[in-house]
A = this chain, B = another copy of it.
Amino acid sequence: MSIEAIRYRPGLLELLDQRRLPAEEHWVGITDVHHAASAITDMVVRGAPAIAITAGYGMALAVRRGRVDRRQAQELLLAARPTAVNLRWILERLDQVPDARVEPEAIRLHREDLDTNRRIGMTGARVLPPGGVLTICNTGALATGGWGTALGVVRSLVCAGNAVHVWACETRPYLQGARLTAWECQREGIPCTLIADSMAGALMAEGRINSVVVGADRVAANGDAANKIGTYTLAVLAKHHGVPFYVAFPRSTLDLRCPNGQHIPIEERSPDELTTLRGVRIAPEGIHVWNPAFDVTPADLITGWITEDGLWTPETR
């Protein structure tokens, strides 16, 4: 089994506080939907599938307590973070069941996600070459119900006996690569080297990268993919160096109502994420900052879309 970051027992959701990793493994107990929503906004939990699972449990807590009506709870959770579409998808799934079924369905969807990830991994292991794999952000067990999407593909490659070396972009400003991907790889003995995001070009120029694999927060009908800021830069670099560039995601990340990437809302986060680090000021007070959390990689830079049902192809191809 891979690392677990979301636990639920009736009435109590527990989240491994991802803001404190790798320094400490601290669990946050959550018993109401407001707290579930703020845990998503404040990034106690992050990663599109993990956010969705948390939102599912948030709905379960809301129904269980009965004090918040379901419509309100839904709106609260939907507003927690705007870019990942999985959150909306899970709330729509839960909308179809009566109150008494919300909690068991949330639990079932959590388990389903783990299974989905293993199947994403199998698809990916068929197409990705072994060798140096570059990735960004954290798309592993911590970002999902377990196993992972892009990092799940790496896990599956390793499980199938391939020699793989993960090159983890530290992923500024929130350092999910340095804090979470490096930690996951280290814990599971997957060979991993940490780099600053800006080193990706030099690394590819040296011929050390055989593929890039990233996750997605939303994939539009034409194949454009929103993912962690910096993903688009990696895609341009991959094209320049002739390195295949894959996106790995569950089908719940597909937003077929969204024709292309221009329609994906991009969350802008606080300047503080760039100007301070754990309370230490690293840029002058008052400096203007641009801090989008995601960018959009156009379909024409993407070699393949890896899902639990095999390789997906945009309708426009």
Q: CB within 8 Å of B: which residues of A?
A: 22-23, 136, 167, 169-173, 175, 178-179, 182-183, 186, 191-203, 205, 229-230, 232-233, 235-237, 239-240, 274-275, 277-278, 280-292, 295-296
Task: Check A197 against B197 for contact (C-beta < 8 Å).
Answer: yes
**Residue of chain B at shortest CB distance from A23:** B281
Task: Check A277 against B282 for contact (C-beta < 8 Å).
Answer: yes
- Among B173, B201, B232, B290, point to the contact of A236 (Cβ < 8 A): B201
Residues on B with beta carbons closer than 8 Å to the beta carbon of A171:
198
Task: Check B284 against A22 for contact (C-beta < 8 Å).
Answer: yes
Task: Check B229 against A198 for contact (C-beta < 8 Å).
Answer: yes
- Among B167, B198, B240, point to the contact of A230 (Cβ < 8 A): B198
Sampled A-B contacts (24; CB under 8 Å): A22-B281, A22-B285, A171-B198, A172-B172, A172-B196, A178-B282, A182-B283, A191-B288, A193-B290, A194-B275, A194-B290, A195-B274, A195-B291, A198-B198, A199-B230, A199-B291, A199-B295, A201-B232, A201-B235, A202-B229, A205-B296, A277-B277, A277-B280, A278-B280
Chain A interface helix/strand/loop/mixed? mixed
- Among B203, B229, B232, B240, point to the contact of A196 (Cβ < 8 A): B229
Given the known A-B contacts A178-B275, A277-B282, A290-B199, are A233 and B233 also in contact in the complex, defined by CB atoms under 8 Å?
yes
Complex Cα spacing A281 to B23, Å: 7
Complex Cα spacing A295 to B16, Å: 38
Task: Check B233 against A201 for contact (C-beta < 8 Å).
Answer: yes
Task: Check A192 against B230 for contact (C-beta < 8 Å).
Answer: no
Task: Check A230 against B203 for contact (C-beta < 8 Å).
Answer: no
- Among B167, B233, B277, point to the contact of A198 (Cβ < 8 A): B233
